[in-house]
Amino acid sequence: NTADYVYPKDWNNLIENKDTLILDVRNKFEYEVGTFKNSMNPKIKNFSEFKMFVDRKLKKQVNKKIAMFCTGGIRCEKASSYMLSKGFKNLFQLRGGILKYLKEIPIKKSKWRGECFVFDNRVSVKNELANGSYELCYGCRMPLKKKDCKSDKYEKGVSCPKCFRQLSNDKKKRLRE
């Protein structure tokens, strides 16, 4: 058993159905950078916490139609496999993930809100895979909005408002070097 794949061109129809639970299987910070409108945030720090999220928060949704998505599709494969083993039946996953959706769906038809965090030097991308506006903090490895970079706690390559107080002076010194 596997989840049904939904191609980007058919995704909007699925997620516009009010009976569909839209599930973002990515980490909390990725969700905050951008997601589909009305999607559920599992509020996990890393993907290894996803099973616990399913067991605690979704067990009553076992018969619900669930549309899940992630950046490129790999986490959805793992998530749907686990959920199917737990008795979920109506699972759908976005084929090719958010990146394929952003590449193929014109901005005027897009249901995506914000940007998509990516694990490379671009940090984030927008519709049509245009470079996003986020930077990466080297102190905590978290994505930064432009307003974060204007903070007096931001030092390029060293710290940001999210990690300024957690980093030791020695660590900041090493990052400056």
- Tokens representing 61 are 């949704």
* CA separation for the pair 173, 167 (Å, rounded): 10
3-class SS at 85? helix
CA atoms of 146 and 123, how far apart (whole Å): 13
Q: CA 88 to CA 72: how far, in whole Å?
A: 22
Q: What is the pLDDT of residues 122-169, one digit of tens each?
A: 999 999 999 999 999 999 999 999 999 999 999 999 999 999 999 999
3-class secondary structure, 126 = coil
CA pair distance 110, 12, nearest whole angstrom: 8
pTM, two decimals, is: 0.90
1 pLDDT more than 70? no
The per-residue pLDDT of the chain, averaged, comes to 95
pLDDT digits (tens, 9 = 90+) for 77-106: 999 999 999 999 999 999 999 999 999 999
The pLDDT of 170-175, averaged and rounded, is 94
Q: What pLDDT is stored for residue 121 in this prediction?
A: 87
Q: Token pair of 94, please? A: 């976005």
Q: Decide if 126 contacts 103 (C-beta within 8 A).
A: no
What is the per-residue pLDDT across 16-39, written as a single tens digit (0 to 9) for each?
999 999 999 999 999 999 999 999
Q: What's the pLDDT tens digit per position in 113-132?
A: 999 999 888 999 999 999 99
Output the CA–CA distances (angstroms, integers) from residue 54 to 19, 30, 32, 143, in the order listed.
Answer: 19, 18, 20, 26
pLDDT at residue 2 above 90?
Answer: no
Whether the CB-CB separation of 90 and 114 falls below 8 Å is answered with no
The span from the CA of 175 to the CA of 177, in Å, is 5
Catalytic residue flag (residue 70): yes
